[in-house]
Amino acid sequence: MYERRDVWTLSDEHPWHPTLEWYARAVDELRARPASDPAGWEYLAAIHGRKPGAWPPGATWNQCRHGSWFFLPWHRVYLHYFETVVRQAVRQLGGPDDWTVPYWDYSDARQPNARRLPPAFREPHLPGGKPNPLFAAQRDPRMNAGEELGRGAVDVGPALKPRNFELGAGRPGFGGARPPAEHGEGSLENVPHGAVHMGVAGPRDGWMGRFATAGLDPVFWLHHANIDRLWEVWRGMEGHDDPADAAWRDARFTLGHGPGAVSLTTREVLDVSRPPLGYRYSSVAPPEGRFAVRLDTKPLPRRRTRGGGERVVPAEMVGASDAAVPLGAAPSEVQFAVESRGARVFKSFRVDDAGEPEVFLKVENVRGLELAAGGYVLYLNLPAGSGPDDHPERRAGEISLFGVREASAAGGEHGGSGLTFTLDVTEVARLLRGAGDWSPDRLRVTFVPVQRGPRDEVVDGDARVGRVSVFQA
Ligand SMILES: [Cu+2]
């Protein structure tokens, strides 16, 4: 059994722990291979999202699945393919035969450096003076200088909270929406996944910020190992189950070409301890401290379908904005009524009422090709004249714009309809209600750009939200 360990645990043992040292040597070796080699560095990154000019027949490029419930199983197969290639290279170079990709747990409350890149990824040169293969200049320079990711980027609480894997019908979901009928990012794909991509990439278009180049950064794979691990964490929590649908379980993912190609279905990778995967994580304990998850074990209301199966009862839309909202370099806001079905909506909404509704905020069709920020923090009903920092309790969630450019190009591989998110805002709504500040005839949503430290450049870009709507269940 291979064990994937936390990179900061390894780094604390030694900044150049053998796992990292051999990773660096293997990266060097893989980079020397031609782009057409399915075991080469460029090919590995291109599987995720690039279409090079000349490409061998049968090659698999630009395959990555985002914004749907295939995000997790596809990336699990991708990471397995990558790990097999690196393990083989390490063996060929005379290293151990059980090399395993580490994971980067940036949310670990017990690790004071969790939100920083480990030293082996920040040093431009190896101890001997040669260039360090794990270093990438194409990152936010602050990350390479040892600064921390923003706290919001690594908040796994909202990611792990949804009881449903499938997102849809107005409800949030852990794993994403079922295509093609619905589209939308699961809570994990949004934050921390997308937010860490954008945080490492920085404002000047680092590798991690685009599908086409993300896999070129050696830290990409440690980030995705953590995302894969968080799937195991979520599944281990009470009341959390993977979808039973054949459409999800029998989906097949084929990566690479030639003798080393991998072709696996979701079903075949659900138990990571079994071949061909055969790995475990050194920890799959739910997060503690700041990011502890308040678990909601109430079963979701279900309804029988005609086919004899069961479906989660959809949430009801109770209000929506009627104009697009720009996402620029300064905060923007939108206001709309949330009583489409008359006064009964939210009337029964009382503090400590066991039967009180859940409230979800859907942010639809976020599009843009030039971005002022990598993400936005949403606030509900910020009082006039006060800033977001004065009201952390009104923070409703964060959306990451990772992938928005790819999803905005009309006719592109990833469609032109943009990104869609569904956030659980039940607790903020309850708090506002308790404070007497929830009026059914107006809900104000403020979008505040995610900003680390001083503002680098003031560009407004062209990003915008198509529509904001509120659901109640
Ligand atoms: Cu990713």
CA of 212 to the centre of ligand 1 (A): 11
Question: What pLDDT tens digit does each residue of the chain (473 aa) get?
Answer: 999 999 999 999 999 999 999 999 999 999 999 988 999 999 998 888 765 566 666 667 767 788 899 999 999 999 999 999 999 999 999 999 999 999 999 999 899 999 999 999 999 999 889 999 999 999 999 999 999 999 999 999 999 999 999 998 899 999 999 988 888 999 999 999 999 999 999 988 899 999 889 999 999 999 999 999 999 999 999 889 999 999 999 999 999 988 899 999 999 999 999 999 999 999 999 887 777 777 776 777 888 888 777 778 889 999 999 889 999 999 999 999 987 454 444 444 433 344 568 899 999 999 999 999 999 999 999 988 888 889 999 999 999 999 998 888 766 555 678 999 999 999 999 899 888 888 777 899 999 999 876 666 678 889 999 999 999 88
CA of 112 to the centre of ligand 1 (A): 24
300-307 contacts, C-beta under 8 A, 24 or more apart? 300/163, 300/164, 300/171, 301/473
CA of 341 to the centre of ligand 1 (A): 40
CA of 229 to the centre of ligand 1 (A): 13
Residues with Cβ within 8 Å of 368's Cβ and at least 6 positions away in sequence, in order, are: 327, 401, 404, 405, 408, 418, 461, 462, 463, 464
CA of 297 to the centre of ligand 1 (A): 29
Here the tokens at position 396 are 């409703």
CA of 427 to the centre of ligand 1 (A): 29
Contact 402, 200 (CB under 8 A): no
CA of 473 to the centre of ligand 1 (A): 31
CA of 224 to the centre of ligand 1 (A): 6
